[in-house]
Amino acid sequence: MSMQNSHLVYTTDSGKVQQDKAPAARSVSADGVVRIHRETKGRKGKGVSIIVGLDLDPKALKALCTTLKKKCGCGGAVKNGTLEIQTDDREKLKGLLESAGYMAKIAGG
């Protein structure tokens, strides 16, 4: 039995059992371009804009998400290192990201 990939269920050792914490996920693009995708899958036809390629720590991602939500007048969240903004207006998001100093592209159709 390999102890490398097993999950600890019970231990007789004294003290607290330490779980390995995985680092927070980041979506980093290889070319440094921030891409704005549109997605409707699993949202009952409602479109959201997914922003990937930002190499920011979780606090900075949350701050940027808050700023974009306020300027677009919509909701959103940070999930797995990407931003989900509840709007279909990708042109406006592209302009806001470019004014913040990012090179942004609209991806998909």
CB 109 within 8 A of CB 40: no
Q: What CATH number has the domain spanning 34-106?
A: 3.30.780.10
Based on DSSP, count helices (H) and strands (E) in the chain, helices before strands.
Answer: 2, 5
**Where are the domains positioned within the chain?**
34-106
| Tens-binned pLDDT, residue by residue, of the chain (109 aa) | 555 666 666 666 666 666 655 555 556 666 778 889 988 887 777 888 999 988 888 898 899 999 999 998 999 989 888 889 988 888 999 999 899 888 888 887 6
Q: Could you tell me where the beta strands, DSSP code E, fall in 1-109? A: 34-39, 48-52, 76-79, 82-85, 104-106
